[in-house]
Amino acid sequence: MKLSVNLNKIALLRNARGENYPQIEYFANKAIDLGVDGLTLHPRPDHRHATSDDVINISKLTKARGVEFNIEGNPFSKPNKEFIGFCELTDIIKPEQITLVPDAIDQITSDHGWSSGSHDSELKNLIHLLKENSNDAQVSLFIDNIEGVDYAAEMGANLIEIHTGAFAKAINDKNLSIIDEIKKIIDHAISLNLKINAGHDLNLNNLHYLVEMGNINEVSIGHAIIVDSLHYGFEETISKYLEIIRK
């Protein structure tokens, strides 16, 4: 299993003061030095955390350091003031992975996955174009149920990212039946030749359940890594996550 560290929260902290401190590049390099497999940014059209420039700079850094860059966001987000636009950004940076999320502009965080709707044919065309214009990036659809797996296959995605918000809540409530639900999603994705990523609300307490399930290509983790860094420091925190993942 690979670990992609989401650096959005470092951008959020930086933006609180308007200067370039803390510097995202510094923590990007540190995470790579410690052995993470990739970095993720999820720029929002209002630039409230990662900006378009951050995406361009960090994707250059990951290319130079030989790790993967994963850009997350809504492919229908158009250019808006300083925001370059989601598809426009992917054309510029040629990321290794593009994770599409159906988030609304004012949504606090990604809280649901894709489902069928009036956007279907436009999304399918966009996925085709995203692959073509980015030298065959792997395209992943954020999903939160088994129907989402069929939808991702229909849309031409290479991967699904399982939204693990409900999983994290259930584990927190000691409701382990969620494990079988996630396993069903994994098995169905395998049967359709889709690779499997997972993300949202993963932390040091729930991550090992996913590792034990097997067949997960990558987890993307942001919020808990920054919170845990307040306790343990960034380096020790990344090492703790890698220790669980590499078991």
Residue 42 among the catalytic residues: yes
Q: What is the DSSP letter of 17?
A: T
Given the rule CB under 6 A, which of 56-64, 85-93, 120-128, 196-204 is the region that contacts ligand PXP?
196-204
- Tell the smallest beta-carbon distance from residue 30 to ligand PXP (Å): 18
Mark whether 154 is an active-site residue. no
Q: Is the dihedral of CA 34, 8, 102, 244 positive or negative?
A: positive
Q: Name which of residues 162 to 191 contact ligand PXP (CB under 6 A).
A: none
Please give the DSSP secondary-structure letter assigned to residue 51: -
- Does 54 bind ligand PXP (CB under 6 A)? Our answer is no
Residue 83 DSSP label: B
How is residue 192 annotated by DSSP?
A: T
Instruction: Pick one of 3, 71, 98, 101: the residue that binds ligand PXP (CB under 6 A).
Output: 101
The nearer residue to ligand PXP, 109 or 133, going by C-beta atoms, is: 109
> Closest Cα to residue 215, out of 235, 188, 193, 195?
195
> CA torsion angle for 96, 14, 110, 150 (degrees, to 10)?
0
Under rule CB under 6 A, residue 109 binds ligand PXP: yes
- Among the candidate windows 57-65, 115-123, 218-226, 235-243, which touches ligand PXP by CB under 6 A? 218-226
Return d(Cα 95, Cα 3) in angstroms, integer. Answer: 16
Q: Which two tokens stand for residue 75?
A: 């492919």
Q: Is 72 a catalytic residue?
A: yes
**138 forms part of the interface with ligand PXP (CB under 6 A):** no
**Among 49, 68, 72, 218, the one annotated catalytic:** 72
Residues annotated as catalytic are 42, 72, 200
